[in-house]
């Protein structure tokens, strides 16, 4: 009887983990798949460069706008129910984005930003609620999935666009397959956890406002939010401008795209390993130092006009980007005592983080226009890496946001 119960619990955990993995697979690829086909989108929709740039900025702005309100939605509709609703919205958004003219594309992009923002906030909190003793392991699983599919989104987008007359519409709609699989798996989680989550929400309803009041005054919450901001600014600046920087150095657009994909894939092992290590440490100052060095060394290699060092730089910087992202996800969990605190900190941190991150690609483009040349882009990435080190050191101290 005991063996049957253990087998049942193991099967349940397997389905939960599969659900988390497929939810995570939908949170970056729909964004990274746009860049490689942006010229095809511009030509088909007859839009300007500025409007094309807005297509990549809209989701970041929506992340910042929506994230603070996710905890209220969860408290009302449960966490699994909120994730399920976000997946349904994502399904609609992906279809709208490829179904018509520029108006539908922009509207679909807005809905996409809302759906992904909800998923971004929910997953760290869900891990803390569902697996409080294995936060590092399961954070690593979903973080690695996000980075793996981000790389696939960037790497497969252009080849998929060449397969059929549908062009970029096929490559952007391809990710609806993962959304459908995530929906199928998550419906079961919603049915199983609904009553338990409603009871938890009722029990913590009186306390849920406490972290919200403290966050704006908490040095720790601001340190976590600014760490998220610097990490995200690096990621989205690399996504937006690194292919252009490499082409400016003499590479073909195809080779530059492959190096960007290599950078994305390099993040995967670090996103899995670092949360496990971080969860076993009282503070994460050593890990923050390692991540910052990987950033600085990786981006500095791009100053050397030798192809080998460009490849090495993209790999080393990728290690830093993967480790930095997973540390941010861990901070949302381990810098709070409860899943309610984690949920609130996650919403606050991602709101501030993405608003600031949205400035990065625009600012570096502006600096290029004013000063000329792309060395300023590499210098900017090194400067942001140093800022990451300063704020992440504060976020890595062993304390909780509820006590700050």
Question: pLDDT tens across 105-121, in order?
Answer: 999 999 999 999 999 88
> Mean pLDDT, to the nearest integer, of 202-219?
58
- Please give the pLDDT value at position 391: 95
Range name among 148-162, 197-211, 343-357 with the lowest pLDDT average: 197-211
> Mean pLDDT, to the nearest integer, of 217-242?
89
Banded model confidence at residue 49, pLDDT cuts 50, 70, 90:
low
Mean pLDDT in the chain? 84
CATH of the domain at 230: 1.20.1250.20
Please list, in sequence order, all residues whose beta carbon lies within 8 angstroms of the beta carbon of residue 253, skipping any fewer than 6 positions away.
Answer: 243, 247
The whole-model pTM stands at: 0.79
Domain encompassing residue 137: 2-403
- Please give the pLDDT value at position 226: 95
271 or 180: which carries more pLDDT confidence?
180
Q: Per residue in 143-177, pLDDT tens?
A: 888 888 888 887 788 888 888 888 889 989 999 99
- Please give the pLDDT value at position 194: 59
Range name among 151-165, 200-214, 281-295 with the lowest pLDDT average: 200-214
User: Is 202's pLDDT higher than 70?
Assistant: no
Banded model confidence at residue 208, pLDDT cuts 50, 70, 90:
very low
Q: Per-residue b/e over 49-67, b at no fewer than 16 CB within 10 Å?
A: eeebbebbbbbbbbbbebb
- Please give the pLDDT value at position 53: 67
Q: The tokens 């709070």 sit on which residue?
A: 336
Q: How many domains does the chain have?
A: 1
Banded model confidence at residue 8, pLDDT cuts 50, 70, 90:
very low
User: Is 39's pLDDT higher than 70?
Assistant: yes
Calpha distance 154→385 (Å, rounded): 23
């Amino acid at each position: 009887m005991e063996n049957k119960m253990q087998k049942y619990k193991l099967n349940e955990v397997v389905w939960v983990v599969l659900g988390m993995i497929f939810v995570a697979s939908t949170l970056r690829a729909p964004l990274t798949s746009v860049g490689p086909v942006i010229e095809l989108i511009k030509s088909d929709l007859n839009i300007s460069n500025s409007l094309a740039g807005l297509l990549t900025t809209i989701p970041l702005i929506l992340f910042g706008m929506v994230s603070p309100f996710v905890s209220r939605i969860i408290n009302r509709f449960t966490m699994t129910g909120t994730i399920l609703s976000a997946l349904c919205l994502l399904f609609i958004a992906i279809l709208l984005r490829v179904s018509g003219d520029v108006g539908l594309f922009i509207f679909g992009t807005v809905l996409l930003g809302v759906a992904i923002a909800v998923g971004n906030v929910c997953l760290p909190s869900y891990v803390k609620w569902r697996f409080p003793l294995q936060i590092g392991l399961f954070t690593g699983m979903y973080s690695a999935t996000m980075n793996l599919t981000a790389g696939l989104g960037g790497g497969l987008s252009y080849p998929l666009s060449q397969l059929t007359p549908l062009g970029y519409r096929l490559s952007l709609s391809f990710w609806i397959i993962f959304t459908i699989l995530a929906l199928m798996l998550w419906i079961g989680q919603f049915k199983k956890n609904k009553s338990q989550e409603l009871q938890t929400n009722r029990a913590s309803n009186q306390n849920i406002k406490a972290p919200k009041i403290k966050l704006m005054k908490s040095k720790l919450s601001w340190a976590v939010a600014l760490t998220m901001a610097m990490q995200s600014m690096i990621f989205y600046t690399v996504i937006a401008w690194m292919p252009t920087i490499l082409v400016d150095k003499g590479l073909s657009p195809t080779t530059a795209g492959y190096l960007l994909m290599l950078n994305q894939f390099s993040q995967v092992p670090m996103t899995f390993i670092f949360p496990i290590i971080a969860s076993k440490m009282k503070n994460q100052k050593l890990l923050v130092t390692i991540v910052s060095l990987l950033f600085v060394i990786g981006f500095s290699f791009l100053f050397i006009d030798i192809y080998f060092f460009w490849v090495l730089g993209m790999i080393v910087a990728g290690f830093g980007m993967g480790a930095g992202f997973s540390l941010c996800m861990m901070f949302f969990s381990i810098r709070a005592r409860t899943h309610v605190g984690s949920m609130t900190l996650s919403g606050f941190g991602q709101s501030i983080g993405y608003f600031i991150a949205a400035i990065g690609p625009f600012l570096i483009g502006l600096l290029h226009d004013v000063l000329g040349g792309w060395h300023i882009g590499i210098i900017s990435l090194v400067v942001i890496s140093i800022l990451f080190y300063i704020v992440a050191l504060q976020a890595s101290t062993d304390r909780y946001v509820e006590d700050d």
